[in-house]
Chains A and B, each alone.
Chain A
Amino acid sequence: MAPVGSFLALAAVLFCIGLYGALTKRNIIIVLLSVELMLNAANLNLAAFARMGIAPGIAGQIFGLFSMTVAAAEVAVGLAILIALYRNRNSTDVRDMDLMKW
Chain B
Amino acid sequence: MSNPFAGWVWNGGTIAFFLISLVVVFAAVMLLQFRKVMYMALSIGLVFLGMAGLYILLNADFLAFAQILIYAGAITILMLFAVMLTRHDEVEDPPLRDPKKWLTALGCLALGAAMLWTIRNTPWSSPPAQPPWPVQKNVAAIAETLFTGYAVPFELVSVLLTVALVGAVILARKEG
Contacts and interface: CB of A to CB of B under 8 A. Distances in A.
The SS class assigned to the B binding surface is: helix
B109 A16 contact: yes
Interface of A: 1-10, 12-21, 23-27, 29-30, 32-34, 36-37, 40, 43-44, 47-48, 50-54, 56-59, 61-62, 64-66, 68-77, 79-84, 86-87, 91-92
Contacts of B174: 87
The SS class assigned to the A binding surface is: helix
B70 A84 contact: no
Interface of B: 7-9, 11, 13-14, 17-18, 21, 24-25, 28-29, 31-32, 37, 40-41, 44, 47-48, 51, 54-55, 57-60, 62-63, 66-67, 70-71, 74-75, 78-79, 81-83, 85-87, 90, 92-93, 95, 98, 101, 104-105, 108-109, 111-112, 115-116, 119-120, 122, 124-129, 131-133, 138, 141-142, 145-146, 149-150, 153, 157, 160-161, 163-165, 167-169, 171-172, 174
Nearest to A17: B28
Contact of A16 (B95, B112, B119, B126): B112
Contact of B82 (A20, A56, A59, A83): A83
B60 A73 contact: no
Contact of A47 (B37, B55, B109, B149): B55
B150 to A, nearest CB: 6
A17 B104 CA distance: 11
A82 B127 contact: no
B111 A19 contact: yes
A6 to B, nearest CB: 7
Contacts of A56: 128, 131-132
B9 A1 contact: yes
Contacts of A48: 58
9 contacts: A1-B127, A2-B8, A4-B125, A19-B111, A47-B54, A57-B132, A64-B63, A76-B164, A83-B171
A59 B165 CA distance: 27
Q: Which of B85, B165, B169 has the most CB of A within 10 A?
A: B85
Nearest to B162: A73
Given A10-B25, A61-B60, A75-B78, A30 B37 contact: yes
